[in-house]
Amino acid sequence: MGSSVASLAPRARTSENESEADFALIGHQESWRAAADVLAVLRGRQHTPLPDDEIQDILPWIPPRSVCHVEVASRLGVNARGVYIDSFIPPNRLDATCVHENLGRVRAAAACAINAGAKIVSLGGFSSILIEGNFDQLPERHDTVFTTGNTLTVAFIVQGIKKMCALEGRDLRHSTLLIVGATGDVGSGCARCLAPLVKRVLLSARNAERLRRLAAELRADGIEAEIVTDLNPIGRLKHDAEPRRPEADIVVCAASLPSPSLLLGCIATDAIICDAGYPKNLSPNAQMPEAKIFLGGLGQIAGGLKFSPDFRGILNRHPFPDVVHGCLLEGMALALEGRFEPFSQGRGFITPRRVEEIEAIAARHGIHLAPLH
Amino acid sequence: METVIGIDCSTNECTSFSKSAPIWQDVLAQAVTGELLAAMNYASLAEICNDPEEIADALEHAAGERGHAFRFAAEGRKIGVDVASNVDARHWKRLREIFLGCIAERDFIGCLIVQEIMLESFAVASYARVGRVAPGSLGETFAAIAGEEEGHVEHALAILRADRALDPRRFDDKVYRLHLEVMTTLAKMLAKECKDGHCEVCHASCVKPSLFDVSLSAAELRGASLQQYLKTLDSLGLPGEVTLQWVAQLPV
């Protein structure tokens, strides 16, 4: 393994491997609007778009399958080809009550990736959350490896926070960082990378035991880490008798929420907030006019990205071109590098060293932090 | 409309079905019509087969489908309804014409694609859904026939896979051409509302709005049928992204 020169050399394509995919990206749509857009592209301009009620009736029946071919170019002149596979998890069935059904969909999507001959598969959005720590539940695979892609997501979140702080003239060293969803793979990775850079870190998650373990791990490294049990406007720290405000001035939202529903009260009014959830975490009703909110975990491919059929702006719904979620970019970066390995395997293994490693791989191929928006 | 079997409410099941019987009557009428059409298709198929074994298979399937029609009709009799059939109803007639087009071209593979991939996907999936919710022996019969239909699709799939292996492009083009004709017709039949007027099979007004009363819906039957169709095409090796586009472009 590693970044040998040989692994960077453009691989010749022959008729035998012409149809094989270097990578596969497994994803799902985070909203009915996004699902409608995907179906509209598939339906083509010559057909009238499906009404919303028909979309909600039809989509849950679509079996997981490849939706389009993807080609990504490295600035080194290498390219990699893959497929985007949608698990077609209905946007209203992302909650915990549908875990079994959704796991079945992710398994079926994984089988599609294996059938496509993908050498590496990135698990996007809820796909990775379902599979984290349960890689043994994926179908039997021969030459296909899976990565959650979360390490590159963490890298872009961390880079985004640093960039936004620089833009806003904030000094991380004097900041209090709140991580929502701190015990998840992305949340804990962010905690390990960002906590040493800030004055104090507040950790919030549903699983109290995992929170205690993470806080203890950080404290062992000399970090001031506290557990937050209440994100309401008058937040209380567990060991405090009295509520304290303002609390966090930098926030990373990385919770696994089925819909944007998070309301943050225990933060500074002008906090920098990175919403890295998929679906997004922050409720549209959150009233934070002075906060600097940006979408986190996104990267941009300098060498360009092609979809066939053309799903530009549909599968990557961002105002800037060639912007993709870090979790999906990780698989592409590793494919460009020729490193077909399960780089990110699940909850709790993301360390600053691994983040630096994937950042370097991505940067080598022209994959960088996306413009903040 | 042809009556397959008359009313004979001589069993105890009549009373428990009193409210839902008219709904099951129409569901059964569609099923009987489909089975009789399948029997006619297999009988026609036998006429273009050269291999005696294929002829025997086709005739056996025709007999099997007729048997299914009679079993469905018998279920109607148990609940005291007159199960009619109408293979000349607008959509069913169109499906028969498409099949006969393949027969005219002596296109054995085309016939299998229409009957086994498209029509049977619809039958297997919708019978299975009905089998889950229909009470008593009615549900058991739908579930059992769904299983039997699935069984003989397997045999056809093996033939079709072998044909596709010879020339995937030609095979996929043929499937698409037939898809446009057959699945467009089926999609109209499976639409939540019959936009082209009465289907000429339901005994009174359209049964679709009433399906909720028996824990079914037209949307569910359509979804399950299209899912089964996509999975069947997957098993033949057609690219998933291509077949998804085909299905996405069907009328609703």
pLDDT, one tens digit per residue, over B60-85 is: 999 999 999 999 999 999 999 999 99
| Residue in A295, A350, A372, A317 with CA at minimum distance from that of residue A152 | A350
| Cβ contact, residue pair A50, B252, below 8 Å | yes
What pLDDT is recorded for position B133? Answer: 96
B193 contact A CB<8A:
no
What pLDDT is recorded for position A235? Answer: 43
Considering the domain A155-296 in this protein, what is its CATH number? 3.40.50.720
Task: Please say whether the beta carbons of B245 and B179 come within 8 A.
Answer: no
Ramachandran area for residue B180 (φ above 0: left; ψ -120 to 50: alpha; else beta): alpha
Mean pLDDT lowest for which of A5-14, A87-96, B48-57, B148-157?
Answer: A5-14
pLDDT over 90 at A173, yes or no: yes
For the entire predicted model, the pTM comes to: 0.89
What pLDDT is recorded for position A82? Answer: 97
Task: Please say whether the beta carbons of A125 and A30 come within 8 A.
Answer: yes
Residues in chain A closer than 8 A to B240 (CB atoms): 65-66, 112
How many A-B residue pairs are in contact by the CB < 8 A criterion?
55
What pLDDT is recorded for position A20? Answer: 78
pLDDT, tens digit, for every residue of B194-217? 887 888 888 888 899 999 999 999
Structure-block tokens of residue A363 = 């940067």
Confidence of residue A12 (pLDDT cuts 50, 70, 90): very low
What pLDDT is recorded for position A152? Answer: 98
Interface test with B, best of A37, A62, A81, A84 (most B CBs within 10 A): A62
| Number of domains comprising chain B | 1
What pLDDT is recorded for position A10? Answer: 35
Work out the burial of residue B210: count CB atoms within 10 Å of its CB; fewer than 13 is exposed, 13-18 middle, 19 or more buried: middle
Tell me the mean pLDDT in the region A160-165: 98
Nearest CA in chain B to A41: B245
Confidence of residue A243 (pLDDT cuts 50, 70, 90): low
Interface of A with B in 272-311 (CB under 8 A): 309
pLDDT over 90 at B6, yes or no: no
- From the list A57, A62, A69, the residue facing B244 with the nearest CB is A62
Residue A303 C-alpha, separation from nearest chain B C-alpha, in angstroms: 25
pLDDT over 80 at B3, yes or no: no
| Cβ contact, residue pair A44, B249, below 8 Å | yes
pLDDT, tens digit, for every residue of B46-63? 999 999 999 999 999 999
Q: What value does the mean pLDDT of chain A take?
A: 88
Q: Which of A9-13, A261-265, B167-171 has the highest mean pLDDT?
A: B167-171
What pLDDT is recorded for position A130? Answer: 78
Percent of chain A with pLDDT over 90: 72
Domain holding B18, by residue range, is: 2-248
Residues in chain A closer than 8 A to B245 (CB atoms): 42-44, 309
Structure-block tokens of residue A304 = 């360009």
Residues in chain B closer than 8 A to A112 (CB atoms): 240
A370 contact B CB<8A:
no
- From the list A42, A61, A69, the residue facing B226 with the nearest CB is A61
| Cβ contact, residue pair A63, B219, below 8 Å | no
A47 contact B CB<8A:
yes
Structure-block tokens of residue A241 = 């008798």
Tally the C-alpha atoms within 13 A of residue B169's C-alpha that lie toward its C-beta: 0
Interface of A with B in 58-117 (CB under 8 A): 58, 60-63, 65-69, 83, 112
Domain range annotation of chain A:
5-147+299-369, 155-296
Residues in chain B closer than 8 A to A309 (CB atoms): 241, 245
Task: Give the single-character DSSP code of A30.
Answer: S
Task: State the ipTM, two decimals.
Answer: 0.89
B134: CATH: 1.20.1260.10
Task: Please say whether the beta carbons of A253 and A275 come within 8 A.
Answer: yes
